């Protein structure tokens, strides 16, 4: 290879690396926005802040636009650069993580709407402690899943998957309690149902954070760890 050719190849691969890095940065930027959406949605619900709930709902458009843009970016990279091995995994993992982030954004927008409904219909007599607790956890899980993605950190990713199990348990127990409460005070059913739907959305946010974490494991290890238990996941990661 003569020097010119070498410089040219180097130039191309540098450009390619820049493009990959840029797609990843756009994902993390979208992640930051979505994380704020989760936090704001919980705040709107707990503070009975109708205006904030409305803002969260409206900002979902921006999340949706980012999904489409980053998805296009990923397709462009595949079409032009024909990435292989770990580069291809990065593009695929990015595109999948974007879809999970969009859904987290969706669930946040739903919570924003429920916060507005609760402002109209009056506060629910129960469930705010659980909203705050589970809400904080899934917001942190979203953040950790993105950190794991940024740093290619398998341990943090495993941790997110583990936490999702806890969230599911806490969600089930909160649900049982709220159903019992509705039976004791039927007049509160409408308002409590808004809390129930909000908890459901938070539980789904936890699932999506877990998906992103599983994606990080795929990205780093090349193993698909969906649909297996945490123990099995840990074994697969260590065997590697």
d(CA 196, CA 175) in angstroms, rounded, equals 7
51 and 43 Cβ atoms separated by less than 8 Å: no
| Shortest separation between residue 64's beta carbon and a second copy, angstroms | 4
Residue 23: alpha-carbon gap to chain centroid: 17
From residue 226, give the alpha-carbon distance in Å to each of 90, 187, 236, 239.
Answer: 17, 42, 12, 17
Q: What is the number of residues in the chain?
A: 240
Instruction: Give φ, ψ of 2 to 5 degrees.
Output: -80, 170
Residue 151 touching a second copy (CB under 8 A): no
| Residues of span 88-117 touching a second copy by CB under 8 A | 88-89, 92, 96, 99
| Residues of span 194-223 touching a second copy by CB under 8 A | 200
Given the complex with a second copy, which of 26 and 132 has the nearer CB atom?
A: 26
| Shortest separation between residue 85's beta carbon and a second copy, angstroms | 7
Residue 84 touching a second copy (CB under 8 A): yes
Return residues touching a second copy (CB under 8 A).
61, 64-65, 67-68, 71-72, 75, 78-79, 82, 84-85, 88-89, 92, 96, 99, 179, 182-183, 186-187, 189-190, 193, 200, 224, 226-227
């Amino acid at each position: 290879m003569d020097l010119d050719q070498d410089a040219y190849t180097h130039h191309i691969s540098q450009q390619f690396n820049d493009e990959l890095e840029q797609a990843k940065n756009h994902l993390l930027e979208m992640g930051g926005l979505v994380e704020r959406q989760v936090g704001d949605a919980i705040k709107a619900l707990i503070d009975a802040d109708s205006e904030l709930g409305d803002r969260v709902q409206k900002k979902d458009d921006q999340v949706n636009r980012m999904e489409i843009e980053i998805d296009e970016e990923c397709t462009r990279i595949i079409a032009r650069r024909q990435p292989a091995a770990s580069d291809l995994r990065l593009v695929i993992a990015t595109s999948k993580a974007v879809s999970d982030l969009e859904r987290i954004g969706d669930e946040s927008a739903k919570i924003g709407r429920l916060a507005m409904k609760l402002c109209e219909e009056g506060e629910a007599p129960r469930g705010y402690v659980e909203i705050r607790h589970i809400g904080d956890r899934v917001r942190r899980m979203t953040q950790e899943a993105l950190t794991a993605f940024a740093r290619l950190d398998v341990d943090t990713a495993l941790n997110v998957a583990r936490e999702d199990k806890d969230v599911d348990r806490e969600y089930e127990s909160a649900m049982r309690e709220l159903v019992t409460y509705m039976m004791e005070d039927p007049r509160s059913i409408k308002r409590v149902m808004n809390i129930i739907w909000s908890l459901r959305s938070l539980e789904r946010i936890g699932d999506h954070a877990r998906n992103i974490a599983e994606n990080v494991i795929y990205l780093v290890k090349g193993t698909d760890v969906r649909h297996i238990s945490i123990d099995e996941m840990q074994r697969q990661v260590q065997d590697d």
